[in-house]
Structure 1
Amino acid sequence: MRAWTAVAIAVVAALTGAGVAVTAATLANSTAEPEAYGLNEIARNGNVQGILYPGDPATEAALVQQEDERIVYTRRVASAAYWTLSVDGPYRFRTGDSWTIVLPGRELPYTVDDLRSLAPDTLVQNPDGSYLLRENVAVMQGATLSLNSVEVRLESTAAGFTSIVAFGGHLDLAGTRKAPTTVTSWDSVTDSPDEDTADGRAYLRAIGGSIRLSHADISSLGFWGGSTGGLAITGNDEADDTTLASSMEPTDDPLPVPAGAPVVDATAVFETTPPEDVEGMQTAASAGTSAAPREDLADLGLSTATILDSEITGNAFGIFVSSAENVTIERTVVTDSLVDGITLHRSVSSSRIADSQSSRNAVDGISLGRSTVGIRVDTVTVAENGRNGVSMDGQSLADGPSASGTAVESFGDNSVVGSTIDANGRYGMEITGGGDIDVSDNRFTANPDGLVVDRGADAVSITGNQFLEQTAAAVAIRDDVTDATVQDNTIRGGDTGIHVRNAAADVSANTLSDVTNHAVTLLGDVEGTAVAGNELGGTGQTALWSDSGFGAVIGENDLDSWRPAITPASVVGFVFQPLTVVWLLLALLLVGTALTRKDGQYGKIRDPYAERVPLTSLTRGVVSMDGSQGASVR
């Protein structure tokens, strides 16, 4: 008897323990975080951080540095040439082992015909009507380069690559629906677009200038860095290092001189005016002591861009924006980028991305970096990106004293509304820090986690969204988020509906259905969190898990649609009620007693009434009616 009782107790303990273990493991998995926050790697614990970059980090980083040097050198030569040589009109000069043609400011735009007359050897028309450009082009302040309804192929081979850069100037790539403007890299050896970034790749860029794209197809441009990423719009926020000029000075190796525009000897320019004196000239000019030249690049300021009805495919960074304002991206499709699709990196303000798509990019579909403010993402589709659909980082640029003395303020006033965020590799959307953020009327479908808000974000409003079939959590609010509002959202499917950990959130008026674990989970210090007025439906373990959280105010929630799931824990909980345990133990006692008899009848079937003799076996049972009283039985 004691042996059977011990077995029963052991089974109860084992099954109950297993149920608890399942609950703890499920909670741990639903709130797991990556161990690494890199933009382009797989974390040690397997969380997706994006598809690995296919190029060569060592060679490409060196080429980015080389391009930075060439940009600085070009700016200095352009400024010094005007002051010392009084150059008026287009010219070219040697930058290392390549040529750069300079287009100074003028009222009329430069066209393909102008470039053909200025560079007949380096802008060649192909039999199919396209143009192959084999020389760098610098569009200076006050100048516009218009490439309208033409196909331009930028030479990009193992021997070198070309670029078109607006130094305060304007790039206008305007086509039509039937005749778009096309710009791509081109490897003349393979007679195809350049898909290898290891040796660099052609790119477009505006520095303190502007770019306008309309009905343009941009493809297979850029490598490694944002500034050389393919289509870059950046402000004039780079410090000029005067030591860089010498690294671009011509070597003794002969380089054929192209026909067309005259050649300026950069060495002679700097012999007349040392590079370190150019900045002083620019400063004096901007102060009004002398007429400022059109090539004066002392203060180009912020860039701007308008990108409409265009397609950007296969760039390193689809569209990269930094130090810019009033950037508009509408009705544009960005796909298959090697890093991010659309990146607003630093100091971008008052800009809008609308009616556009950013999909199948290796890392993020849309990335809003630190110090981006006043950004509205409206009616976009971000799908099947390697990491997040949308990443929004509003953290401060510094968290204390720093060498640059940067302020510790955070950033925000950004919004994502009316958009579709589907099947991204890690999160549908991640909001890291910042404040005054609006996420409303969006649809999240089939992401591992729908929306994650963390690292001290404040005043985040999450309202009117649909979260359909996320794998883990639909909404996760965690890690010192101080004021989040999660209201009027519809959540269907997934392991967890709304997860709050070490954060404060108002969770109200949400409708949840078909959740398979918990509708709402509260973990850690959740003081300031209120959960009320929600309709919690599903078939999970419990609708609202708060055993591991403290400080929350839990009001009335509608649990009519919640059905406990059949799990080992629920079976144990149902079967092993106190009274049920008593009856089970009694049954075990009876069975044990029956199986351990000592009369040798073990295992035999016998008549339970064998020891009872019926009356009919002793007499016929007939009694006379007349002699019934006192009569004996015959």
Structure 2
Amino acid sequence: MRNPAIIISALFLVVAALAAGFFVVGDFLKEKDVDAFGRNEIASNGNVQGELYPGDPRTEARLVQREDERLIYVRTVASAARWRVDGLKGPYRLRTDSTFTLVLPARETPYTVADLLQLAPKAFVRHPGGAYLLSENIVVLPGANLSLATAKGAKSLDLRLESSAGSFVSLVALGGSVTIAGTKDAKVSITSWDSTKASPDFETRDGRSYIRLIGGHAKLSHARVANLGFWSGNTGGLSLTGTNTISPFKPAAPPPKPAPQDAAIAGARLLSDKQLETLHPADEDYSVVTAGIDNAVFENNAFGLFAANARDVAVQDTAIRGSLVDGLVLHRFVTNAAITRTTSSNNAVDGFTLGRSTTGVVLDGVTAQDNGRNGVSLDGRPLSDGPNAVGTAVEIYGRNRITGSTLKDNRRYGVEISGGARLRVAGNTFEKNQVGVVVNHAARDVVITGNKLRHQKEHAIAIREAGASAVVSKNLITGADTGVYVRNARADVTANRLAGISNHGITLRGRVAGTQVAGNTVSGYGSIAIWAEESAGGAVGENNLLGWQPEYTLQRVANFVFQPLTFVWLVLGALLLVTALSGGRRRRTGTIRNPYAERVPLTSLSKGILAPEEIGERE
């Protein structure tokens, strides 16, 4: 019969070896998974990130082009009409596409709701419930101000822009100003409206009403702007798109004429085709746009609030939510903007986007939450990397900062910094993003300090890509897979406190020349506190690692078990245990017997000492 002790000991050794091998591989894969996240991040997300746009790209792009042509036609006429049309005074009307465009020229006093009722009695109508419906386009020229404000004693102003399958209208300022002013107790609401469905227009495929300022000034207070815009930033909802130069263009043929019965519409004068034939294009120069916005709500627009070629844009105490693309976008050449106490949430892509050539922007006390991609995206890369057709400069941009803000539950990053210089992320709170802060695309002179980063799913702070550099100091990081991750970049990682880390406190990978890691307090229960085995050029100084406890994986157990002396003692212990168990089993199943049964006196095995005569007698 085979010895059961030998069999059990052999099985023990096999199981121990398999377990050790399994966890060695498991720990290796874990390390590679974290690295693969950083390496394949852009490819895995692709160019389209967040929630996909629900509209029709081909149709909507054509509608954007058609809107541009309409506005060019209007400003071409406007640039010469006052000088070439006899007796033209005050507002007038143009045929554009299947509707009209009401043009408001300069005057000293603002145009009001009451003026619109007189100028467009058939196209600006008050419904029995008190809401106003606008069914033709409005253009505000330089020197004019359209004021949409709640009347004295009114509870609110509800303005609806006709937007149905057949057509949609817009409100555009060509150098003029627009004021949308409510009060705390009497707010202004502007939304698209589909009269055929008696509801806001939720469909973008056939276009949707929008508000746009090209130059001039926008002022919004205690207003709600909802369900506006489609496809592009210019037509995205409320758009502030100043420009330094506009090249007028006159179409080869005038736009389609409306139905004959509309030609005699009352109100503002309708210019005839004969009068328009005498007009010629003239250059018009509009300045950049400026804006002041407070206590506003932008809801369910294509882009919540879009700005380009703008300066001195101030947004405060405002909420942006449910946008089909981004929440607040500062796209091109936006300078000296201040965004304070503003929330951007539940947008399909980013909460706040600062595009290339945007400088001097402050995000202070903002909240970016539950967005489909990043809470805040900052792109400071050059507009061009060499000679180009229009001579665009190759300079990088920056001087932007995010302070005192909250960035939480965004599906990708809390803040992504792509290129740029002199950028500051300070005193913010990050919670439950995939990664808290990412610095890449050669961004330099980035300061990340005094932030609280809680429970990021992967890295709390990641500095990566050749040329990227950052100072990471005095941050409190808790509950991440990796606290600070530096790959092929340079970073000064000093005086940070890291706790509850599950893998590495600080990781250095690749070429990290000039990187310093010192003065950090790292605690957690992971693999290695500071991991720099696959890096070159970095310097790891003194750090407080007393709170770090290596994770008790089977790899560590296997390493402990297979120490020579430990292995011998474990085998001996197993043999003794098996022997004791097998002996006990025999005692339980057999009978009780004398242990000295085979060692008895010889006298007990014979008849004893007998006399000779007794032997005979006994026989």
- TM above 0.5, yes or no, is yes
The aligned amino acid for 1:43 is N
2:185 to 169, 175, 178: 178
CA offsets per residue over residues 251-273 of structure 1, 9 Å max, x none? 486461321000113x4355223
CA offsets per residue over residues 287-308 of structure 1, 9 Å max, x none? xxxxxxxxxxx21021111101
CA distance change for structure 1 residues 545 and 232 in 2, over 3 Å: closer, same or farther? same
2:420 to 434, 456, 475: 434
| Residue 227 (str. 1) matches residue 234 (str. 2) | yes
Shift of 1:606: 12
What is the match of residue 472 of structure 2? 486
Shift of 1:374: 0.2
Q: Which SS does the other structure have where 1:494 is aligned? A: coil
| Residue 198 (str. 1) matches residue 205 (str. 2) | yes
Aligned counterparts, 1:150-169, within 5 A? 150-169=157-176
| Residue 385 (str. 1) matches residue 371 (str. 2) | yes
Shift of 1:582: 4.0
Shift of 1:521: 1.1
CA distance change for structure 1 residues 471 and 93 in 2, over 3 Å: closer, same or farther? same
The aligned amino acid for 1:91 is Y
1:413 to 399, 408, 418: 399
| Residue 369 (str. 1) matches residue 355 (str. 2) | yes
| Residue 272 (str. 1) matches residue 278 (str. 2) | yes
What is the match of residue 60 of structure 1? 60
Aligned counterparts, 1:496-511, within 5 A? 496-511=482-497
- Unmatched segments (≥5 aa) in structure 1: 283-297, 596-600, 621-634
Aligned-partner Cα distance in 1 for 2:141–2:194: 27
Aligned-partner Cα distance in 2 for 1:535–1:355: 33
Shift of 1:16: 4.6
Shift of 1:392: 0.5
CA distance change for structure 1 residues 248 and 271 in 2, over 3 Å: closer, same or farther? closer
CA offsets per residue over residues 169-221 of structure 1, 9 Å max, x none? 00011110000111111111111111111111111110011110011111111
CA distance change for structure 1 residues 606 and 419 in 2, over 3 Å: closer, same or farther? farther
CA distance change for structure 1 residues 233 and 36 in 2, over 3 Å: closer, same or farther? farther
The aligned amino acid for 1:19 is F
Aligned-partner Cα distance in 2 for 1:469–1:94: 58
What is the match of residue 82 of structure 2? 82
CA distance change for structure 1 residues 34 and 64 in 2, over 3 Å: closer, same or farther? farther
Aligned-partner Cα distance in 2 for 1:113–1:241: 32
What is the match of residue 568 of structure 1? 554
What is the match of residue 290 of structure 1? none
Question: Is the CA contact 1:453–1:476 (under 8 Å) kept in the aligned structure 2?
Answer: yes
The aligned amino acid for 1:209 is G
Aligned-partner Cα distance in 2 for 1:85–1:498: 69
> Which sits farther off after the overlay, 249-258 or 151-160?
249-258
Shift of 1:408: 1.4
CA offsets per residue over residues 26-54 of structure 1, 9 Å max, x none? 2333341486859xxx836xx99211112
Question: Is the CA contact 1:456–1:479 (under 8 Å) kept in the aligned structure 2?
Answer: yes
Aligned-partner Cα distance in 2 for 1:592–1:508: 55
The aligned amino acid for 1:230 is G
What is the match of residue 70 of structure 1? 70
Question: Is the CA contact 1:358–1:382 (under 8 Å) kept in the aligned structure 2?
Answer: yes
Q: Which SS does the other structure have where 1:311 is aligned? A: strand
CA offsets per residue over residues 454-491 of structure 1, 9 Å max, x none? 11010110000000111111111111244201111001
Question: Is the CA contact 2:208–2:230 (under 8 Å) kept in the aligned structure 1?
Answer: yes
Identity %: 46
Q: Which SS does the other structure have where 2:269 is aligned? A: coil
2:323 to 337, 346, 360: 337
Question: Is the CA contact 1:157–1:189 (under 8 Å) kept in the aligned structure 2?
Answer: yes
The aligned amino acid for 1:249 is P
- Unmatched segments (≥5 aa) in structure 2: 151-156, 605-619
| Residue 246 (str. 1) matches residue 220 (str. 2) | no
Aligned-partner Cα distance in 2 for 1:250–1:48: 37
Shift of 1:605: 9.3
CA offsets per residue over residues 120-139 of structure 1, 9 Å max, x none? 01000011222100110000
Shift of 1:573: 2.5
CA distance change for structure 1 residues 594 and 82 in 2, over 3 Å: closer, same or farther? same
| Residue 131 (str. 1) matches residue 132 (str. 2) | yes
What is the match of residue 462 of structure 1? 448
1:523 to 470, 492, 509: 509
Q: Which SS does the other structure have where 1:53 is aligned? A: coil
The aligned amino acid for 1:260 is G
CA offsets per residue over residues 569-606 of structure 1, 9 Å max, x none? 222233222322344466789999999xxxxx9xx999
What is the match of residue 610 of structure 2? none
CA distance change for structure 1 residues 89 and 421 in 2, over 3 Å: closer, same or farther? same
CA offsets per residue over residues 128-176 of structure 1, 9 Å max, x none? 2221001100000000000112221111111111111110000011110
The aligned amino acid for 1:506 is D
Q: Which SS does the other structure have where 1:28 is aligned? A: helix
Aligned-partner Cα distance in 1 for 2:131–2:260: 30
Aligned-partner Cα distance in 2 for 1:403–1:576: 68
CA distance change for structure 1 residues 591 and 499 in 2, over 3 Å: closer, same or farther? same
Aligned-partner Cα distance in 2 for 1:35–1:247: 52
What is the match of residue 607 of structure 2? none
| Residue 43 (str. 1) matches residue 45 (str. 2) | yes
The aligned amino acid for 2:477 is I
CA distance change for structure 1 residues 365 and 619 in 2, over 3 Å: closer, same or farther? farther
Aligned-partner Cα distance in 1 for 2:435–2:38: 11
CA distance change for structure 1 residues 455 and 11 in 2, over 3 Å: closer, same or farther? farther
Q: Which SS does the other structure have where 2:60 is aligned? A: helix
| Residue 25 (str. 1) matches residue 39 (str. 2) | no
1:540 to 504, 526, 547: 526
Matched residue count? 587
Q: Which SS does the other structure have where 1:161 is aligned? A: coil
Q: Which SS does the other structure have where 1:309 is aligned? A: strand
Shift of 1:8: 8.1
What is the match of residue 285 of structure 1? none
Question: Is the CA contact 1:37–1:49 (under 8 Å) kept in the aligned structure 2?
Answer: no
Q: Which SS does the other structure have where 1:74 is aligned? A: helix
The aligned amino acid for 2:339 is I
Instruction: State the Cα RMSD in Å.
Output: 3.1
Aligned-partner Cα distance in 2 for 1:612–1:515: 68
Aligned-partner Cα distance in 2 for 1:83–1:578: 102
Aligned-partner Cα distance in 2 for 1:559–1:301: 58
Shift of 1:55: 1.5
> Which sits farther off after the overlay, 84-93 or 157-166?
84-93
Q: Which SS does the other structure have where 2:285 is aligned? A: coil
What is the match of residue 537 of structure 2? 551
Shift of 1:65: 1.1
Aligned-partner Cα distance in 2 for 1:394–1:402: 19
Shift of 1:558: 1.0
CA distance change for structure 1 residues 153 and 588 in 2, over 3 Å: closer, same or farther? same
Q: Which SS does the other structure have where 2:67 is aligned? A: helix
The aligned amino acid for 1:100 is T
